[in-house]
Amino acid sequence: MALWMEKGSEPLTENEKADLEAIAAIKESSALELKEKGNQYVKMGKKHYSDATDCYTRAINQKALTDSETSILFSNRAHVNLLLGNFRRALNDANDALKLNPSSIKAIYRAAKASVSLNLLDEAQDYCQMGLHLDPKNEELKKLEYQIGLKILENEKHEAQVSKAVAEAKEIVSAMENRGLKIGKAMYRELTGLKKPVLDKSNILHWPVLLLYAEVMSSDFIEDFCETDMFSVHLDMISFYKCYDQPLPWDVENNYKREFIELYYEAGSGPRLSKEKLLRYLLEGTAAASNGEGIGDEEKNAVDDIKQNQSSPKWIKVNERRTLHDVLKEPNFIIPEIPVFYVVSKQSSFYKKFKDGKWAPPSV
């Protein structure tokens, strides 16, 4: 019987030839039936897409159809894989279809669509150009090629923004290193938001600075404190009174007049950020921002280190006649991403508690 003949052997009799032809006809009929069944499943909607791919796969495996017909099966399966979001499979199927029929416009279009979804934009553009060479008036390919062109321009713009952000962040890190500054974990972001220092064209750092009134945990925020500015300049500009004769609502005893206030920073407040973490912080909110993978454990460890090493805080008084640069470069000053200074009044009963180290900032 021809059914049991070894692969590659030639039939010896007319009966064996007839048997082979009959088997081939059955397989061809089965493949065509599976193809039509797959098409019906596609029309029935998403719940039946996996049934459609199964039918197309079984039809392909019959190996009973012509190259042109088998190409259609691969192209149809590529279409369903696109609908399912299986973009790599869709691209492979479309390419298999093109191997069998290089002029299949549908296979070319589906290869282009899959390539776009895989962000293989150059390849997608090549497929569109291949299809338009065969069918210059194809509107779907024209539209897709236009969309790909926009995506390429968008990617180029994004890459330029990433490069610019990285270069600026690296310049700031370098400036900090040259000044011997030490940067630690952020504090009070709920008050400051994502504020960062800026390096101007003269290589001068401009810092956002948070002033905290330790007694009541109220705050003032200086958006642009140039590192060459003295503290007195900014303190003189802060309104400690709502108007000339009325204190702020929380200063019921009128303790926080300009002549009574002193400024402090906390010495050695936590571990330093690594250069990599510092760069990632500076890139937050930019086009080059990382996806944040792995930050959670690192931040947890940093908090643990702080808690383990934390004792009574050591407060260092700031000389108002000094510049921000001079204070920030002090060996014991670890900047919590942006500088934080604590405002206290010599007139307040809280002053002695603060100076004696009996007050600590709330955990953040």
Place of tokens 């005893």: 253
Q: What are the tens digits of pLDDT across the range 255-268?
A: 998 899 999 999 98
- Spatial separation of the C-alpha atoms in residues 196 and 193, rounded to whole Å: 9
CA distances from 317 to 60, 231, 264, 354 (A): 81, 12, 4, 12
pTM, to two decimals: 0.71
Please give the pLDDT value at position 246.
61
Task: Name the band, by pLDDT with cuts 50, 70 and 90, for residue 2.
Answer: very low
- Spatial separation of the C-alpha atoms in residues 192 and 279, rounded to whole Å: 19
Please give the pLDDT value at position 238.
81
Q: What are the tens digits of pLDDT across the range 208-263?
A: 999 999 999 999 999 999 999 999 999 988 865 444 456 677 888 889 988 999 99
What fold, for 15-152?
Answer: 1.25.40
Helices (DSSP H) in the chain: which residue ranges? Answer: 14-43, 49-61, 67-84, 87-100, 105-117, 121-134, 139-179, 189-192, 231-237, 275-283, 295-309, 324-328, 350-355
Please give the distance of CA 60 from its chain centroid, rounded to a whole number. Answer: 41
Give 206 or 11, the one with higher predicted confidence.
206
Structure tokens at 42: 């596609």
| Residues above pLDDT 90, as percent of the chain | 71
- Spatial separation of the C-alpha atoms in residues 57 and 60, rounded to whole Å: 5
For the chain, the structural domain boundaries read: 15-152, 181-291+311-356
CATH fit for domain 181-291+311-356, picks 3.40.50.720, 3.10.20.90, 3.20.20.140, 3.40.50.300: 3.10.20.90
* N-term to C-term CA, the chain: 84
Single-letter amino acid, residue 41: Y
Place of tokens 């405002």: 343
**Region of poorest pLDDT, from 47-61, 91-105, 226-240, 289-303:** 289-303
Please give the pLDDT value at position 18.
67
